[in-house]
Each structure stands twice: as structure tokens, then as C-alpha cells.
Structure 1
Amino acid sequence: MATSTNTAGQQISGCPAFLDHRVQRLNSSKTVDICQQFAGKTFLIVNTASNCGFTPQFKGLEALYQQYKDRGLVILGFPSDDFFQEEDDEKDTAKVCYVNYGVTFPMFSTVSVRGDDAHPIFSYLAEQTAAPYWNFYKYLVSADGNTVERFNSKMAPDAKELTSAIEKQLNRS
């Protein structure tokens, strides 16, 4: 578990150490301290792309977020061009997410999700399970960070296997 400090200088615990990062919001100059903002939450971390056959999963991910956010689930979306299906300009990625699919869960700037250049969050996830083989891999992380489950691109956000795993984690929190 990481211990971060909030803007008042108070320590925040209850966040997996691998998530102790400041990340830039999608198409914004604002950054988010993941631990400060989301400590104690169950995480569904997804590598996304705007021009992929799985891009319509944004709708299902948003539905999951609306269904479970009040119970402690947060979805973190990280666009990636590792599979050459992301827009070159973040304003275009933002349009796909926010305008075309109505995404309200946190989306961040484009990152690498595999290989030597992978963002540290995805490097950790790869160590625990495996790196994403394609866009829209989903990593369910328990609030304490001790459990990481990986679901591939073909696993729809409303699939029973995924929703059951989410329910199980939320019931533990």
C-alpha cells in the first residue's frame, strides 16, 4: 500500500503502491494523483483505442461505471497507440470518448502499455498477469491491490464473468 499526501499535507493510505502516480487527464493540462483521488476503491484499468473494433466497449464500460461507482468501483481508461489504432491528436481521442460514447469515468493521456516503454502501472500489471495483447484489456484490481485479474478484449464489459468478479471485489471492500 502506498501512503500519499493530499493537498493539505495529510497522509492517505489504502492505495496500492503501483498506483501511486500523478497522471494527466485526457486532452487536458490537469493531472490527477490516483492514490489521492481514488484510495480505497476497486479499480478496473483498461487500455483503450479510438479506432479499434472493440471501441464500442466504451458504452459498456460507462454502463459498468454508472452501475458500480457508488459501491466503490472506479474505471481508469488509458488510451494507447501500441497497436496503432489511436488518434494522433488527443482532442480527437477525447471526442471519441466523451462525445461519441458519453464516457464520464476518468480517462488519461495516451501511454504505452507494453514493452520497455510501458507506463509503470501497466508494467506492474504485466508482472502480475501479462501485458495486454490488444486494446481493451481489462485489469480488475482489488482495493488493497493484492488481487489482479486480467480480462481480454473479447470479454464484454457486461459479461457475467467480469461482473461477477467486480461484485466479488466490491463485496470484500
Structure 2
Amino acid sequence: MKRRVFLSLATAISALGLAPARAQGPAPSFTFPSIDGGEYDTADWRGRPVLVVNTASLCGFSGQLRDMQALHETHEGRGLVVLAVPSNDFRQELATGKEVSEYCQLEYGITLPMTDILPVARGEVHPFYAWVRQQTGFVPQWNFNKVLLGPDGQLLGTWGSFIKPGGRQIMGTVAPYLSA
């Protein structure tokens, strides 16, 4: 009984975005297929903080794409990388990467790096999300969950859907790693 209550409480805390990252070694390099072809390699971003967000075009939280783009525009010059990872794990994504790319560009003016549609919480999840799960126990419970890596690849934090990408929790964590 106590274990079930603890697990329910842990799930609720994670959904609210209150789950701290546990200390561990730096992330290995991961590659992500780009939504427009090619790929992104996290090794190319070493020395920069990276905010990874699982997204879905048809989700009620999709307005956060606008926030993500604003972060990208405001802080890219200070080193921040904002990576959108579209996923249909919660059945709220368009059918193809091309549709997602066109929709996000038209509706939100997205120019930030965006991957192809990937599983993040269910089934054969992308290796990055498998690593995050293994390191911290964090699994996206819905769309627009956030994972922040420090410049050295350390996992700095995880947040749920209700925490906005430019919110004080994330910005307070990432601020020390942004260049002047």
C-alpha cells in the first residue's frame, strides 16, 4: 500500500515538473534525425546547454512552441540550444515529419532545431530518452516535458508539461551556463 502511494505521488510530482535530476556522469553523444533530413549530433553542442523538449503539434500545450522559439532567438547567441522532439506517443502529432515541419513553421515560425517524429516514452524509445530514464527514472508523462543538459553533458534537470520553457525554474537552472 505504501509503495503504491509513493509511486502515485512520484508520478504526480514528475507531471508537475518537480522532479530533480540525480547526479551522474555526462551524457554520451546522441544523434537525432532532423525533420528536414540529415541529423543532429549532441557532440556538436558540447560546451553549450541543451534544452530537449518532446512536442506534439495538436497538444493543448503546443503554444509552448512559441516559447521555445523565443528562447532560441533570445539565447542562441549566448550558447543555448533548444531542440524540439516531435512525438506521437500520446496520439497528438501529425502523420508525417513534413506535415509537422510545415505546420510548426506556419503556426509558430519555428526555426529552432527539430527532429523527426520519435518515440520518447513508449515502445522502442530514442536512445536519449532511454538514457534519461536509466539515469533519473524520468519518463515523459505527456507532451512538452523538458530535459536540460549542461555544457559538459551533465543532466541538470527534468520538468513536466506545466513548466514553460522560459519559466523561472528552467531559466534559473540554465542561466549560469549562458555566455554574457
Give the structure 2 partner of residue 134 of structure 1: 142
Distance 1:103 1:40 in 2: 24
- What's the CA shift for 1:31? 2.2
| Partner SS, residue 113 of structure 1 | coil
Gaps of 5+ in 1: 1-15
Give the structure 2 partner of residue 100 of structure 1: 107
Report the RMSD for the aligned CA atoms in angstroms.
Answer: 1.8
Distance 1:115 1:126 in 2: 12
1:72 aligns with 2:72: no
1:63 aligns with 2:70: yes
Does the CA contact (< 8 Å) of 1:42 and 1:73 recur in 2?
yes
Give the structure with the higher percent strand.
1
Distance 1:60 1:29 in 2: 24
Give the structure with the higher percent helix.
2
Q: Percent identity?
A: 32
Displaced runs of 4+ in structure 1, greater than 6 A? none
Does the CA contact (< 8 Å) of 2:96 and 2:117 recur in 1?
no
Distance 2:61 2:98 in 1: 20
Q: TM-score, normalised by structure 1?
A: 0.81
Higher relative contact order (CA 8 A, sep 6+): 2
- What's the CA shift for 1:154? 0.5
Give the structure 1 partner of residue 12 of structure 2: none
Give the structure 2 partner of residue 169 of structure 1: 177
Gaps of 5+ in 2: 1-25
